[in-house]
Amino acid sequence: MGRPAFVRERILNAAFDLFAREGYEAVATRTIAQEANVGPASMFKHFPTKEHLGRELYRVALAPLQKQFAELAAQRPSPTAAVTAAVELMYRAYDERPRMLALLVFPPHDFLPTEIDRANPDSVRSVLQRLTGLDDDGEAILWGAMTGPLHDRFLRQRDGKMGPSAPAHAARLIHLVG
């Protein structure tokens, strides 16, 4: 009985690594199956389409960050405190799991994961927008400024932690909501 969950987990782990490294669109399902060491039939038994797999992967990978943003929202911080806390959360998440943050920073073009869709009130971006009170353009600018250093660090494969830079980066971003 435990085998199907094990196979499903192997598929998700393989997809996670491949999507984060190469991008959603660049990875074929057969490549994921090979990396997970499962047959195509087994792969499609668990995930009928690549989009089903992608959506489940985003749900699982981003759930911890969504939970942290929900907890932040429950504290009802000021916009300034929200920016500071959001940068710290994202930088810490990057330090712990850079490939998870790569999913957040580089979403697929084929579909919009619910976890990052601003139409979803529980998405990280929606929570951030509510906490800062910014309009859509302001939130997009803030999001780009928050994720830009993560994007650069990931693509250039630079060493070192992002967490120590969080306070200085947050201070720069506060001007956007001030």
With 50 as the cut, is the pLDDT of residue 29 above it? yes
Phi and psi dihedrals of 123, rounded to 5?
A: -70, 155
With 70 as the cut, is the pLDDT of residue 178 above it? no
With 50 as the cut, is the pLDDT of residue 1 above it? no
Q: Are 55 and 111 in contact (CB under 8 A)?
A: yes
Location of structure tokens 């085998």: 3
Q: Are 167 and 89 in contact (CB under 8 A)?
A: no
**Residue 106 neighbours by CB under 8 Å, 6+ apart:** 23, 151
pTM confidence score: 0.84
